[in-house]
Chain A
Amino acid sequence: MALRDLIFWIVAIVTVGCALSVVFNRNIFRAALFLIVTFFSIAILYVLLAADFLAAVQVLIYVGAIGVLIIFAVMLTRKMTGGPILMGTHGVLRGGAMAGLFLLLSVGAILRQDLSASVPGDVVSPAALGRGFLVVYMLPFEVLSILLVAAMIGSVVLARKDDA
């Protein structure tokens, strides 16, 4: 039990620290690498929450696909401009005020509830999740398929737009 607590706190600190680096780092490439570390630590959180399938999907999709895609875009941009891309921030005071206000609101709402008595449930098996997607959540599943096809066709159209 103590080991799980220790892992949770280490992962939480790593997650928040890397997320802050994603937001504050001026070098976009380093920000993308920190984003990948954040995705990894969130996958560890899913394992702690007994969602093994979602942890695997998180590593596959977020780390494997989205992270690589962002790094790919950064490197393509870098090739065209030459040299590292530095990106600044603007309106730090305004953005910080908004985010801090929202943080205060949500932390107050969470601490007001009595959520300390709960314990994690059993591991949800991928078989149950797949059965759910083919029986109960059939419609969202099909809508997702349509969304993915639309994204694929859309990216082809966007890439070829200038030829038409």
Chain B
Amino acid sequence: MIPLSSYLLLAAGLFCIGTFGLLTRRNAIGILMAVELMANAVNINLVSFSSFLVDLVGQAFALLVLTVAAAEARAACNRHTPAPTSCPRGTRHRHPAPDSNDCHSPAANRCTTRW
């Protein structure tokens, strides 16, 4: 049988890998992935204690952590999707025509809202 300490050691290792990624990554998505690793390590800890102590609280709290991580990833990915550089903020060409590269052209229907 696997002792509780094995799960805790695995979670500690995962958390430290996440910490390392959080401290060293340059890219926003890389930092987000490291944060997800850390949240998963915390969840392993919670679930293993919940399972070993036969208590429901750990699993309920793990579900809470999971929901918070999902909301955070949603918001972070939304912020990260980059804005185009050549067009003014909020507009971009869906089908850039060869004759007009001008973003300020009156053909506004060619520009779409940034997602």
Contacts and interface: CB of A to CB of B under 8 A. Distances in A.
Contacts of A23: 17-18, 20-21, 24-25, 34, 37
A4 to B, nearest CB: 7
Kindly state the interface size class of chain B when it binds its partner: 35 or more
Contacts of A50: 51
Contacts of B90: 162-163
A87 B30 contact: yes
Contact of A77 (B2, B68, B80): B80
Kindly state the interface size class of chain A when it binds its partner: 35 or more
Contacts of A94: 23
A158 B50 CA distance: 38
A98 B10 contact: no
Nearest to A77: B82
A10 interface: no
Interface in B1-48: 1-10, 12-27, 29-30, 32-34, 36-37, 40, 43-44, 47-48
A144 B13 contact: no
Contacts of A160: 113
A110 B66 contact: no
Contact of B64 (A38, A62, A144): A144
Interface of A: 1, 4-5, 8, 12, 15-16, 19-20, 22-23, 28, 31-32, 35, 38-39, 42, 45-46, 48-51, 53-54, 57-58, 61-62, 65-66, 69-70, 72-74, 76-77, 80-81, 85, 87-92, 94-96, 98-100, 102-103, 106-107, 110-111, 113, 115-122, 124, 128-129, 132-133, 137, 140, 144, 147-148, 150-152, 154-155, 158-160, 162-163
Closest 9 CB pairs between A and B? A162-B90, A95-B23, A121-B54, A151-B71, A23-B21, A99-B20, A87-B27, A95-B24, A103-B16
